[in-house]
Structure 1
Amino acid sequence: MTFKQIWESGRAVLNGWLSVPAGFATELMARQGWDSLTVDMQHGLIEYGDAVRMLTAITTTGVIPMVRVPWFEPGIVMKSIDAGALGVICPMINSRAEAEAFVSCLRYAPRGRRSYGPIRAALIHGADYAQRANDMVTGFAMIETRAALEAIDDIVSLPELDAVYIGPSDLALSLGEAPRFDPVDSPVHDAILHILARAKHHGKRAAVHTGSAAYARKMVDAGFDLVTVGSDAAFIAQGASAAVQAFHGGT
């Protein structure tokens, strides 16, 4: 299954988040029914070698492999795709020029400047990978600052950009609010819906990070094409906490 196939079927992508640098934890997540999983190299504890092992675990299933790169730097963007990622989320894209530089790393010439060497990508995505790669890889520019909000039409009108990904915590900080997931009745919530509207106006997909399944469902109902719910680290902590509390509550 691909992003395009899911979206053309009329439903949103349910994305899981990986912060724990462990292949087995990734395998566990990959077998829970997610459409896609994102290896977080920005705020997680994950180095490139960890990411490759985690992408390997994901691709033992039909789950779509994604990476959030630490920052925009052409080398890590291209290496992530060469390792097999079919989606790349890039943090802190604040202008059309930054978005253009990012997406140029996702495409082979003449559409971009990605260097050829899909050492693992060709192994798992097929012998004709080079011919299909430009349309297989989906790029998500993170919109998470006031500057990006003000430049949103310039960013989402860029032809080669596939989608935007809203980071609510940094967006909240940039707008003078406390960072948190799942905002309601606030300038951050209004900004999220504005970004969604502008993305749709320009024919782009929109994604958002959420902290709960209930809020994610609301975002899908509002028109989002991809929603992230929680993370492996959060699920471990929540499950452990619930067990401890149940034990103490039962004595």
Structure 2
Amino acid sequence: MSASRPGPKARMAAGETLFGVWLELGSPMAAEVLAECGYDCAMMDMEHGPHSIGDTIGMMQAMKGTGCLPLTRIPANDPVAIKRVLDAGVRGVMVPSVNTAEEAEAAVAACRYPPRGKRGYAASIVRATRFGLDLEDYLRRFEEEELLVICQIETCEAVENIESIAAVEGVDLLFIGPNDLAADAGFFNRLDAPEVDAMVTRVEEACRAAGRGLGAIVSPNRSLAQLKASGGYRIILQDADVALLRDSARASLEAQRKAWG
């Protein structure tokens, strides 16, 4: 870990917003291309993407040397999954569908070594410490300066408990999952429903009150301008490798066929 560049926590505490990209393909080459394009972070999606822990390491190796922070969304709030991705070297963990303060506390505990948490110890041999070569530096700095714990708010239950979730020490950001939140509230694929907007507003207010950062994608009820005006959003994950490839390919093909006549 380099001490020359401020960690993500310091950057966000200074008011910086990180713009990232979802990595759904599990492709190191795609990860490398997008990291070289200048994204601040990349969220390797193990919840909906097909990739394994080995694929995740391959993507991180491809992004090494760029300024792109490797983050991972794990499949579930599972301490074993959290331990494995942290040992592999990710700088932040996104935990899906965190519904209570107790679940948020469990996620934080899984990310931290004793006595502050319950993360299993193999730091002297894992990739995160350069296989022990950066052991002391990692133990001294990682949890406070580098580690991002991101809890996703995706259900009505989570919104009802949002004030207590936002108050959990060690949670760095709450990331609103608008699609699942709308579906859970009975508005499947209707992100512009006023009821969904009201829930998002409640999450925003709770985070501001607790001093927690927010993360989001651009959606019908929150444009990029609205996210910026809110003032609390510190990670924007709008783009995805699949969508970028799909949309640019379709646009190019349509233009070629139109020009050909």
Does structure 2 conserve the Cα–Cα contact (< 8 Å) formed by 1:210 and 1:230?
no
In the TM superposition, 1:19-58 aligns within 5 A as: 19-58=24-63
Return the match for 2:142 from 117, 120, 133.
133
In 1, Cα distance between equivalents of 2:204 and 2:182: 16
- Counterpart of 2:128? 121
TM-score of the superposed pair, with normalisation by structure 2: 0.89
- Counterpart of 1:145? 155
In the TM superposition, 1:1-251 aligns within 5 A as: 1-118=6-123, 119-123=126-130, 126-127=134-135, 128-135=137-144, 136-179=146-189, 183-184=191-192, 186-210=194-218, 215-223=223-231, 224-250=233-259, 251=261
In 2, Cα distance between equivalents of 1:49 and 1:222: 38
Matched residue count? 248
Deviations 1:32-79 (A, max 9, x none): 111111100001121111111112222231211100001111111011
In 2, Cα distance between equivalents of 1:197 and 1:226: 17
Post-superposition offset of 1:211? 5.8
C-alpha change, 1:211 and 1:50, in structure 2 (3 Å) is farther
SS at the partner of 1:55? Answer: helix
Gaps of 5+ in 1: none
Structure 1 runs of 4+ aligned residues shifted over 6 Å read none
Deviations 1:164-216 (A, max 9, x none): 11111000101111236xx446222222122011011111111112369x933
- 55-64 vs 238-247, greater mean Cα deviation: 55-64
Deviations 1:199-239 (A, max 9, x none): 11111111112369x93343122121111112000000001
TM-score of the superposed pair, with normalisation by structure 1: 0.93
Gaps of 5+ in 2: 1-5
Does structure 2 conserve the Cα–Cα contact (< 8 Å) formed by 1:23 and 1:57?
yes
In 2, Cα distance between equivalents of 1:249 and 1:196: 45
**Aligned Cα RMSD in Å?**
1.9
